[in-house]
Amino acid sequence: MPYTLFHNITLIDGCGGPPLPRAAVLVEDNRIRAVGPEATLSLPNDELTMLDGEGGALLPGLIDTHVHLMLEGGNIPAMMMTPFSLNFYRAINYMRRTVQAGITSVRDAGGADLGVKRAVEEGLVLGPRMQISITVLTTTGGHGDGWMPSGTSFDIFPPYPGVPDGRVDGPEAVRGRVREILRSGADVIKVCSTGGVMSPTDDPTFTQFSPEELAVMVQEGGYRRGIKVMAHAQGAEGIKNAVRAGIHSIEHGIFLDDEAIELMLERGTYLVPTLLAPVAVLEQAKTAGAMPEYGVRKAREAIDAHQDSIARAYKAGVKIAMGTDAGVAPHGTNLRELALMCGIGMSPMEAIVATTKVAAECMGWQDRLGTVEAGKLADLVLVRRDPLTDIDSLADQENIAVVMMDGKIVADRRSVADRQTAPA
């Protein structure tokens, strides 16, 4: 069936303009062919499947620019008891949940290797389109170094064939390691330019990597058709080092100061708030022993500053791309982030644009994804309730009626009767 028509929908196209009621979207194979008011759309004579939206809203496939598809939860003892290969089988479930929640594209910020990406591309498992960083560059003793006070190490993203060790110090060593990561198939380079919450021996405000080391990462990525660097960056100094080095996106941004915000505006740097991450750490802390004490303490210390920091960046006009750190929170709950974004002052429409158009721009995929426009890939999400009046509804999976990826329906929660589609 080469054509599918979504009709009886309100279109929220990702561009941020007013929604279009009584709209229709025509899909041919894996591309959006036509978009407009239902009454005016000219339809093909060929085989056409009608998909009645029943007055729901149609959105572009949603994009999460910061996930960890190979990880769920922060329970270190449980992770230590998990057989290595079991993680891959579990990730099948995480990826499926992600897609079924309406997330059709992600940037994996550490953990997913080239084999995981290829398994999805080859159709062996259902998962989102992805850009992968493979591992996370960290200094010795930094966020990403799994050294424990006992003297043993537990790396959340351990090196193995196809995954270089992320721990590295000094500009020339960094150069070599970045080249290894790129050789392994990374689409984006991930670095920790500050400490973080879920690491045993550092603090979110600690600065990691020198400006010279960060510049080497940006330079080496640039040599490979402009591969970008994303920085886990929480303290102000490490954020500013990253922005000045030309890093593309700041992840978390917990302690942005005015100078950091000014620099981000100047350089056009993206901010990926991940407001859900500390919320999830504190929620899971309620389950006894599920989170290490240092993680809970640092999340509690950071959470107010984080929201204040993101609110100031938003008001100043910094480009915000939706990202959650999913894997800290359970996969499939990604869209809780949008209500949190509204909590710091964004409108529901702005939160949606951050999850579609701006997120696609952040990933360099704006030519093919992020908005519902003729010529783009047919990644579409049909929701029952109006997200502009009820942003929380996006986090309710029962509300996600249909997910289309690359022209194929990959999730369908309509009743059997509603699925009876008649040729036009």
Residue closer to Zn ion by CB (options 62, 106) is 106
**Closest to 237 in 3D by CA, of 266, 214, 217:** 214
Minimum distance of Zn ion from residue 400's CB (angstroms): 24
Minimum distance of Zn ion from residue 228's CB (angstroms): 16
Q: Which residue has the tokens 């502009």?
A: 388
Q: Are 275 and 254 in contact (CB under 8 A)?
A: no
Distance CA 100, CA 411 (A): 6
Known active-site residue 325: yes
For Zn ion, which residue of 27, 91, 109, 344 counts as binding (CB under 5 A)?
109
Stretch that binds Zn ion, among 39-47, 109-117, 183-191, 331-339 (CB under 5 A): 109-117
Stretch that binds Zn ion, among 26-34, 102-110, 236-244, 314-322 (CB under 5 A): 102-110
Residue closer to Zn ion by CB (options 281, 394) is 281
For Zn ion, which residue of 202, 237, 325, 379 counts as binding (CB under 5 A)?
325
CB under 8 Å to 152, separation ≥6 — which residues?
A: none
Q: Are 125 and 92 in contact (CB under 8 A)?
A: yes
Tell whether residue 213 is a contact of Zn ion (CB under 5 A): no
Distance CA 312, CA 52 (A): 42
Task: Please identify which of the residues 52, 64, 108, 190 carries the catalytic annotation.
Answer: 190
CB under 8 Å to 90, separation ≥6 — which residues?
A: 72
- Residue 373 Cα distances to 5, 33, 42, 408, angstroms: 14, 8, 16, 17
Neighbours of 381 (CB within 10 A): 28
Distance CA 215, CA 343 (A): 35
330 phi and psi angles, rounded to 5 deg: -60, 140
**Alpha-helical segments (H) within 154-205:** 171-183
**Could you write out the three-class secondary structure of 44-57?**
CCCCEEEEECCCCE
Q: How many residues bind Zn ion (CB under 5 A)?
A: 2
Identify the DSSP state of 330.
P
Minimum distance of Zn ion from residue 66's CB (angstroms): 6
Minimum distance of Zn ion from residue 146's CB (angstroms): 15
Q: Could you say which residues in the range 175-194 bind Zn ion, by CB under 5 A? A: none
Minimum distance of Zn ion from residue 322's CB (angstroms): 14
Known active-site residue 190: yes
Residue closer to Zn ion by CB (options 13, 325) is 325
Task: Please identify which of the residues 13, 52, 325, 379 carries the catalytic annotation.
Answer: 325
Stretch that binds Zn ion, among 89-97, 186-194, 257-265, 320-328 (CB under 5 A): 320-328
Tell whether residue 299 is a contact of Zn ion (CB under 5 A): no
Distance CA 66, CA 155 (A): 19
Residue closer to Zn ion by CB (options 207, 274) is 274
Tell whether residue 280 is a contact of Zn ion (CB under 5 A): no
Residue closer to Zn ion by CB (options 143, 384) is 143
Tokens of 41: 């759309």
Stretch that binds Zn ion, among 3-11, 262-270, 321-329, 356-364 (CB under 5 A): 321-329
Tell whether residue 137 is a contact of Zn ion (CB under 5 A): no
Stretch that binds Zn ion, among 93-101, 103-111, 151-159, 294-302 (CB under 5 A): 103-111
Residue closer to Zn ion by CB (options 108, 379) is 108
Tokens of 372: 């519902």
Neighbours of 125 (CB within 10 A): 15
Tell whether residue 64 is a contact of Zn ion (CB under 5 A): no
Binding site for Zn ion (CB under 5 A): 109, 325
Which positions are catalytic?
A: 190, 325
